[in-house]
Amino acid sequence: NYGSQENGICTAAEECQCMDKTSSSKLLNKGGTVVNADRQQQADIYIEDGVVVEVQPNIKVADEVRVLDATGKYVMPGGIDPHTHLEFPFMGQETIDDFFSGQAAALAGGTTMHIDFVIPINGSLAAGFEAYAKKAEKSCMDYGFHMAVTTWNEGVSRDMEILVKEKGINSFKFFMAYKGELMVKDELLLQGFKMCKALGALAQVHAENGEAVAEGQSRMIELGITGPEGHTLSRPSMLEGEATARAIRLAQFVNTPLYVVHVMSIDALDEIVRARQSGQRVIGEPIVASLVLDDSKIWDPDFTIAAKYVMSPPIRASGHNKALQAALSTGLLQLVGTDHCPFNSTQKEAGIIDFRKIPNGVNGIEERMHLIWDVMVNSGQISVMDYVRITSTACAHIFNIYPRKGAILPNSDADIIILNPNATFQISAKSHHSKIDTNVYEGWEGKGKVEVTISRGKVVWEHDRLMIERGSGRYISMPPFGYLFDGMDKIDSAYLSSLKAPVYR
């Protein structure tokens, strides 16, 4: 039930304008508190042809312009999810959401752009990129790509250069775990980091010691621990801490910025904080699951329940989540992703007698904006401006697409949400829009609901209905040499001069 072209007739009210004027290219958002990461104000927003034209109090418009009343509500940049896996071939399966269903879910939850991870095909980055570009043709919202690097040869470094210079990629992910599938060794990390630095692309790491994880898995099997809890027990947080520290040191050695994806533990957090305190440019991305869940459900005797929480690095014991929240609220961590990687319960059953075969991944693309509001804003841990920063603006800055994305300013894309702080939301697999048949946030009830989502000037979510169109989403090119690279050359020069200083023997 995605509404839109086939059957999307709004049944909210006789006089409702949402269908007849949804496709209008002119829109006035009236009243409400407009919040950017650096300012909040009472203002109207005038939108034309998918772009913000004006942000001012009391804007007057002609009669044919559709008016959305946001009085008493927050009007904010749509969420940008920096970490998703749609139609992702992984562990012998493919994630259940495609670029249409996953994005439909995102829009229903107030996210208007995501960045998905392209996986190479037989080591070829170019082939992987072409395949993902094809998959994404059905998109109904804007998206960008990160590229994973899983092997190293001349073709890979050449493809990295082409992807950055011609295809709009400005980040590469290196998996330090998943031995035998995606994992890379330190030698590749070093080559990859050097190439990222040369191209002005951000190096990203999945930080877990994959060799030790494999050893931990064998240990569990030898002990007869074959259920989902074996997954968690086999990859303790020290292995996340070790890999995070190693990646940070290698990035420091190469002198290139580093982005640590899915920060799940205090161990990884401590390494990131230490590096930042010493002046190193390291970005830490916790995900909704690491912020609001704990590992208790992995012990559930019902395999279907326990298996839906299996992801890597694992969801940690209670306490890690609170520490990550505190770090996010004080700027030690910078932005929130989801790692939306949805596998159905039948797909998870591949590992019913051996946890090593449970496809890793949890949902979250639809829930992120609501849960972060509920847990972080409603608790008083962060301001509404901080909320905008960690769910949207910081991501746009890091991936060099600000202020086109991540802001409500003249000339920004009109990707906007209206959130009612007094309305409630409920999460359930029965009502969510993702294709996954379970939900790791099942039963969550909270306050603060995204009532309207506007994607490039079109109302796509209103009255709990989606009005979306296959193929309407655009690929967002992300240019290299974002702000994280500013001044890095000076650090290189200082290092070189220090080597040329006289050496006394």
Contacts of residue 459, Cβ cutoff 8 Å, sequence gap at least 6? 18, 22, 27, 66, 68, 452, 453, 467
How near is the Cβ of 389 to ligand URP at its closest, in Å?
A: 23
What's the token pair of residue 159? 């493809």
Stretch that binds Zn ion, among 6-14, 38-46, 105-113, 181-189 (CB under 5 A): 6-14
Confirm or reject binding of residue 312 to ligand URP (CB under 6 A).
yes
Element (H, E) at 175: strand 171-175
Q: Give the footprint of Zn ion on residues 8-37 (CB under 5 A).
A: 10, 12, 16, 18
Spatial distance between the Cα atoms of 79 and 102, rounded to a whole number of angstroms: 14
Please, are residues 177 and 210 in contact by the beta-carbon 8 Å criterion? yes
Judged by CB under 6 A, the chain residues 136 through 175 that form the site for ligand URP are none
**Interface pick for ligand URP out of 146, 197, 206, 308 (rule CB under 6 A):** 206
Buried b (16+ CB within 10 A) or exposed e, 117-151: bbbbeeeebbebbebbeebbebbbbbbbbbbbbbe
Q: Would you give the binding string for ligand URP spanning residues 261-300, x where CB under 6 A is met?
A: -x--------------------------------------
Task: For 333-393, give the DSSP string.
Answer: S---B--B----HHHHGGGSS-GGGSPP-B--TTTHHHHHIIIIITTTSS-HHHHHIIIII
Residue 88 or 387: which CB sits closer to ligand URP? Answer: 88
The CB-of-339 to ligand URP minimum distance in angstroms stands at 5
The three-state secondary structure class of 19 is coil
Residue with tokens 């059957």: 7
Asked if 33 and 66 count as a contact pair (C-beta separation under 8 A), the reply is no
Which residue of 80, 214, 311, 417 would you call a contact of ligand URP, by CB under 6 A?
A: 311
The DSSP output letter for 295 is: G
Tokens of 405: 């994305």
Q: Does 240 bind ligand URP (CB under 6 A)?
A: no
Is position 61 an interface residue for Zn ion (rule: CB under 5 A)?
Answer: no
Would you count residue 235 as binding ligand URP (CB under 6 A)?
Answer: no
Q: How far is the CB of 115 from Zn ion (least distance, A)?
A: 11
Cβ of residue 206: shortest distance to ligand URP, in angstroms? 5
* Min CB(491)–Zn ion separation in Å: 28
Interacting residues with ligand URP between 60 and 89 (CB under 6 A)? 85
HSE (side-chain half, CA atoms, 13 Å) at 282 = 29
Query: Site for ligand URP (CB under 6 A): which residue of 35, 341, 395, 467?
Result: 341
- CB of 262: closest distance to Zn ion in angstroms? 6
* Site for ligand URP contains 360 (CB under 6 A): yes
Site stretch for Zn ion (CB under 5 A), options 281-289, 336-344, 439-447, 467-475: 336-344
Q: C-beta of 262: minimal distance to ligand URP in Å?
A: 6
Q: Which is nearer to ligand URP, 19 or 293 (CB)?
A: 293
Burial of 68 (0-12, 13-18, 19+ CB in 10 A): buried
Nearest to 476 by CA among 406, 394, 390, 388: 406
In angstroms, give the least distance from the CB of 363 to ligand URP: 11
Cα distances from 425 to residues 371, 401, 448, 493, in angstroms, run 10, 31, 7, 53
What is the gyration radius of the CA atoms in the chain, in angstroms? 23
Using rule CB under 6 A, residue 339 touches ligand URP: yes
* Cβ nearer to Zn ion, comparing 13 with 503: 13
H helix and E strand count, the chain: 17, 20
Q: Which is nearer to Zn ion, 82 or 406 (CB)?
A: 82
Residue 436 binds which entry of ligand URP, Zn ion, none, with Cβ cut-offs from 5 to 8 Å by kind? Answer: none
Q: Interface residues with Zn ion (CB under 5 A)?
A: 10, 12, 16, 18, 206, 339, 463
Q: Interface residues with ligand URP (CB under 6 A)?
A: 85, 206, 262, 311-312, 339, 341, 360-361
